[in-house]
Amino acid sequence: MNKVLLIGRIGKDVELIDFEDSCHKKASFSVATSTYYKAKSGDKQEKTDWHNIVCWNKTAEIADKYLKKGDQVGIEGEINTRSYEDKDGNTRYVTEIKADRIELLGSKKD
């Protein structure tokens, strides 16, 4: 089973691409999730991970309309890894979360 559930804050505004020739839309944005732990010194530490989120069609339209940088969101989807060749011929890998469901949990004011 490939299932991801994230709760975090949006790191950048949604970028929407409208593929007019194929009637598809793609939205992409980043989400930061944080975990807290106690260091050996006893101090509270924070670890932040950044996740690349992509969504398609109706979900992309909803993301573009309602999500803004700083908003707290819940993301449900799956992990996808893809590869491509950069301009120098090197193979690069990208890991993304393909969001099937997005829930707005709060705003940056919270």
31-80 confidence digits (pLDDT tens): 999 999 998 888 999 999 999 999 999 999 999 999 999 999 999 999 99
Helix-then-strand count for the chain, H and E: 1, 6
Distance (Å, rounded) from C-alpha 29 to C-alpha 69?
A: 9
Q: Cβ contacts of residue 58 below 8 Å, gap of 6+?
A: none
Q: Global pTM?
A: 0.84
Q: Which domain holds residue 82?
A: 4-106
- Residue 79 one-letter amino acid: I
Domain count, the chain: 1
15-39 confidence digits (pLDDT tens): 999 987 778 999 999 999 999 999 8
Q: What is the CATH classification number for the domain harbouring 62?
A: 2.40.50.140
